[in-house]
């Protein structure tokens, strides 16, 4: 993880970062957020030097400058950490807002008590040091109430900004887990989904199962028909997976021409059935070459390895068994589904 700050450290850095952000011409978006967080935390000396130089030259950072500095010096910002930091900002704003509300209520009660006390004493307005002192206190109390009301308004605006910021960071995180070409989860999305899936495994659950899917002869297809058509094939397979993998199941582009499907609650028989259905759908599909209305290319096939999880098996072992089954399918002639063997029970030879 890139950021290892405690909650208290994060809160302190956030207050400083938000102050800097509010003084710039750039919007309050994740890129600006990441840039100024690293700036005040002192974790990125090159970024700090670049920002200081830019501020000395232009006075403030605009949108273009902020994004350029972000791309050059921050770029790998951890969106999961950004969400956690966003929560901390929200908590800080909430705490300050509650304090301001309490202070406002106390000032209101004090002012009311002071006015009641003045009426009870029947002090002549503007006459005598006591009456003049009470008027000064009342005037100061009213000014304090007005200042607190302004603070509450600004805090409410800040709360909305923080909520918008969290939504933008959450959206960025979702986009970071999606493969742009196929619309499926990418490799990082696969890792997160598989980890979550295995954490839910109990002795009573059926599954999980894993499908590893690879396009047959993809390099030859690319070499003969071009990479643009290769991308169209990948996109087409992605559409088939999106249309047929539903619910809690997760379809992903594992990498290159390889795909994976995680089936958290599907037993072995159901996984094999889905794998066969997907294989048949891909083989029956036709992909149109870009710019050629009549050029429909068929006979595209996939090989699929299926593994059902063994209790106690790690994610790496689980994927490796499914992958070995996939390569067995390739070795047996491609365009087929192969189930990964399970090791014999302990003590059985």
pLDDT tens track for 215-274: 999 999 988 888 889 999 999 999 999 999 999 999 999 989 999 999 999 999 999 999
Laid out side by side, the sheet with 209-215 consists of 250-255, 258-263, 209-215, 302-308, 337-339
Token output for 229: 């058509």
Query: What tens digit of pLDDT does each residue of 200-215 get?
Result: 888 777 779 999 999 9
Residue 200's beta-bridge partner residues?
none
Alpha carbons within 13 A on the beta-carbon side of 194: 26
pLDDT over 90 (residue 138): no
Question: What's the rounded Cα separation, in Å, for the pair 37 and 15?
Answer: 9
Q: Which residue has the tokens 């047959």?
A: 216
What is the Cα–Cα distance from 326 to 332, expressed in whole angstroms?
10
Catalytic residues, which ones? 257
Using CA atoms of 8, 9, 10, 13 in order, give the dihedral in degrees to the nearest 10.
130
Beta bridge partners of 297: 287
Nearest-10 Cα torsion for 66, 69, 71, 76: -100
pLDDT band at residue 104, thresholds of 50, 70 and 90? low
Within the chain, residue ranges assigned H as helices are 7-22, 30-41, 45-58, 63-73, 79-121, 128-176, 187-199, 218-225, 227-244, 268-284, 315-331
């Amino acid at each position: 993880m890139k950021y290892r700050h405690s909650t208290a450290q994060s809160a302190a850095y956030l207050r400083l970062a938000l102050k800097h952000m509010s003084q710039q011409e750039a919007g309050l978006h994740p890129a600006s957020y990441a840039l100024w967080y690293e700036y005040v935390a002192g974790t990125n000396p090159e970024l700090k030097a670049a920002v200081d130089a830019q501020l000395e030259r232009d006075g403030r950072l605009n949108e273009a400058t902020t994004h350029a500095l972000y791309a050059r010096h921050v770029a790998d910002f951890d969106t999961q950490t950004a969400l956690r930091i966003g929560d901390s900002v929200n908590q800080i704003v909430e705490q300050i807002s509650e304090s301001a509300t309490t202070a406002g209520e106390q000032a209101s009660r004090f002012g009311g008590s002071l006015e009641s006390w003045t009426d009870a004493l029947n002090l002549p307005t503007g006459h005598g040091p006591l009456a003049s002192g009470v008027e000064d206190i009342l005037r100061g109390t009213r000014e304090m109430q007005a200042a607190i009301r302004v603070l509450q308004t600004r805090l409410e605006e800040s709360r909305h900004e923080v909520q918008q910021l969290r939504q933008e960071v959450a959206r960025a995180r979702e986009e970071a887990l999606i493969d742009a070409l196929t619309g499926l989860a990418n490799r990082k999305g696969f890792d997160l989904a598989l980890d979550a899936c295995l954490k839910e495994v109990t002795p009573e659950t059926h599954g999980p199962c894993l499908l590893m899917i690879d396009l047959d002869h993809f390099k030859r297809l690319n070499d003969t028909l071009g990479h643009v058509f290769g991308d169209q094939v990948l996109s087409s397979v992605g559409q088939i997976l999106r249309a047929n993998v539903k619910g809690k199941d997760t379809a992903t582009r594992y990498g290159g021409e390889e795909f994976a499907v995680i089936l958290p609650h599907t037993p072995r028989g159901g996984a094999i059935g889905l794998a066969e259905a997907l294989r048949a759908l891909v083989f029956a599909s036709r992909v149109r070459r870009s710019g050629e209305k009549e050029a429909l290319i068929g006979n595209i096939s996939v090989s699929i390895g299926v593994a059902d999880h063994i209790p106690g098996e790690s994610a790496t072992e689980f994927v490796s068994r499914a992958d070995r089954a996939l390569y067995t399918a390739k070795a047996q002639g491609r365009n087929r589904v192969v189930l990964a063997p399970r090791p014999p029970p302990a003590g059985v030879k």
